[in-house]
Chains A and B, each alone.
Chain A
Amino acid sequence: MNERREKAQILDAPGIARAVTRIAHEIVERNKGVEDVVLIGLRSRGVELAQRIAAKLTEIEKATVPVGTLDITLYRDDFGRAATQPMVRRTEIAFSIDDKKVVLVDDVLFTGRTTRAALDGLMDLGRPRVVQLAVLVDRGHRELPIRADYVGKNVPTSHQEAVQVFMAEEDGVDRVVIYEATDTPGERARVTRAATDATD
């Protein structure tokens, strides 16, 4: 089993709030307003982020921005291969995405495979005019040619680390942490070596 040791907190609640504010302003700037802009959140925390961004957009532009939820479980590329089979959740998009400027919202951008799955899912639902990607954290290690348009924070990580976003609505607190994975002997040795080296 993975024992995950918290390495560092990279964003606290005010930090997340500031990131949301800046992303919202950037969305307005890039799209010259919020006309025809819709936000679509991925998984659970992407949805909460999308709702916060939508609320901020309403504050800035005095207009409502529709928010939808996209579940990408049925579009994943690791079906039957992954060690765990994820729970299928609902897609709820109560409006047409045809000819809209869709901003996909996710918490962490890592390999890019989730975004690829989300694009496939979106295309099955309609024909957006343009699709942009907003993420709270970009941790690098892309495995596909995918990039975010709006980034809350860039965080360089190693592949063994894990980045976890906690949101108040679901987890009771707002924060982003990096975990080290310390379960394998090789990893433990590497961490110990790195710690020893650091003290020389």
Chain B
Amino acid sequence: MGWTRKDLLGVRELEAEEIGLVLDTATSMKEIASRDIKKVPTLRGKTVINLFYEPSTRTRTSFEIAGKWLSADVINISTSASSVVKGESLKDTGLTLQSMHPDVVVIRHPVPGAPHLLARLLKASIINAGDGAHEHPTQALLDLFTIRERRPTLTGLKAAIVGDILHSRVARSNIFAMQKMGMHVRVCGPPTLLPRYVESLGVEKSFQIEQAIADVDVIMMLRIQRERMGAGLFPTLREYSKLFGLNLDRMKLARPDVLIMHPGPINRGVEIAPEVADGPFSLILDQVENGLAIRMALLYLLTGGQGTNN
């Protein structure tokens, strides 16, 4: 089977075979990063617009580089410097861009469903680069890719996601994606940061990091957002770090071959100790590298037309 969807709006609706296709394609794309001339002509003449309503280092840069390495024309729009500050609506912004005939629009937006609105409105293929707390599908795909590089199969692996699950689109997308590939997922954090009925997603729940990380193949740490301190969700960063931070002592409780992941940006010394982030088990920078390969694969698949493999 080949890629037949016009858009990538989430991982929840993807089949396991589609996820597999993206991961396999990314494997081939990754080789381009090791060349002297990091350029292939595949997307020559295609236009990719990055429409980011929220700040981003990793996601935006890697979509930009992914497009450029594939020879596409890439345009970055930071809405803080656009007519959005004059009050232009998402719909009008979308229609305005459509009049310039982009092939792909990559959108990050604080409101869930924004990419879905554009997908209905525009002929271009829409990629969701994060919509509110809903989904961040490309992150989940690159996370699966990173795990798959280190393990013969994803089926049966156990993962613990630790941190602010409540506000995390990364957690949601990873829960959907991991389960689709046969992994078991456990979420961990203080009760104020775990959604009340999170078990209904088919995951285990834990309020104690020592217990959560003991027998898992993958520990994924999420950034604790300093801005949430004022909302009374936890007393201080220091207390959060003491109770839920991944430090060297807690690492001793984990499996000796455990994989440490974090979508970034990290808060050194808060949710993750510097020694762990920089240590030998950490795949944080591999995730960034793989993000590039995954996004190249997605740009290729979404613009490549319909059909099946030969």
Residues of A within 8 A of B (CB): 71, 73-76, 79-92, 120-121, 124-126
Cβ–Cβ < 8 Å partners of A76 in chain B: 42
Q: Within B12-67, which residues are at the interface with A (CB < 8 Å)?
A: 24-25, 27-29, 31, 35-37, 39-43
Q: A88-B29, A124-B35, A124-B37 are in contact. Are A80 and B2 (CB under 8 A)?
A: no
How many of chain B's residues have a CB under 8 angstroms from any CB in A? 28
In the complex, the answer to whether B308 meets A90 with C-beta atoms within 8 Å is: no
Closest residue of chain B to A84, judged by CB?
Answer: B307
- Nearest-neighbour CB distance to chain A for B29, whole angstroms, equals 7
Question: Which of B205-213, B226-234, B297-305 is the contact stretch?
Answer: B297-305
In the complex, the answer to whether B28 meets A85 with C-beta atoms within 8 Å is: no
Closest residue of chain A to B309, judged by CB?
Answer: A87
Interface of B is mostly: loop
Q: How far is the CA of A74 from the CA of B24 in the complex (A)?
A: 14
Q: How far is the CA of A86 from the CA of B70 in the complex (A)?
A: 16
Cβ–Cβ < 8 Å partners of A83 in chain B: 307
Q: Is B3 an interface residue (CB 8 A)?
A: yes
Cβ–Cβ < 8 Å partners of A75 in chain B: 40-42
Closest residue of chain A to B21, judged by CB?
Answer: A87
In the complex, the answer to whether B310 meets A86 with C-beta atoms within 8 Å is: yes
Residue among B29, B40, B43, B301 with max Cβ neighbours from chain A (10 Å): B40
Q: How far is the CA of A156 from the CA of B43 in the complex (A)?
A: 35
Cβ–Cβ < 8 Å partners of B301 in chain A: 85
A-B contact pairs, 28 of them (CB 8 A): A74-B70, A76-B42, A79-B42, A79-B43, A80-B303, A80-B305, A82-B307, A83-B307, A84-B2, A84-B307, A84-B308, A84-B309, A84-B310, A85-B3, A85-B305, A85-B306, A85-B308, A86-B309, A86-B310, A87-B24, A87-B25, A88-B25, A89-B28, A90-B27, A90-B28, A91-B28, A91-B31, A124-B35
Q: A85-B309, A88-B28, A90-B31 are in contact. Are A125 and B304 (CB under 8 A)?
A: no
Closest residue of chain B to A117, judged by CB?
Answer: B41
Residue of A82, A89, A125 touching B305 (CB-CB under 8 A): A82
Cβ–Cβ < 8 Å partners of A73 in chain B: 28
Q: How far is the CA of A82 from the CA of B306 in the complex (A)?
A: 9
Closest residue of chain B to A124, judged by CB?
Answer: B37
Q: How far is the CA of A83 from the CA of B297 in the complex (A)?
A: 19
In the complex, the answer to whether A88 meets B35 with C-beta atoms within 8 Å is: no
- Nearest-neighbour CB distance to chain B for A2, whole angstroms, equals 12
Q: How far is the CA of A86 from the CA of B307 in the complex (A)?
A: 8
Cβ–Cβ < 8 Å partners of B304 in chain A: 79-80, 85
Residue of A84, A86, A124 touching B40 (CB-CB under 8 A): A124
Q: How far is the CA of A71 from the CA of B24 in the complex (A)?
A: 14
Cβ–Cβ < 8 Å partners of B29 in chain A: 88
**Apart from A74-B41, A80-B304, what are 9 other A-B pairs with CB-CB below 8 Å?**
A74-B70, A82-B305, A85-B2, A85-B304, A85-B305, A85-B306, A87-B309, A90-B27, A91-B28
Closest 3 CB pairs of A and B: A84-B307, A87-B309, A74-B40
Cβ–Cβ < 8 Å partners of A120 in chain B: 41
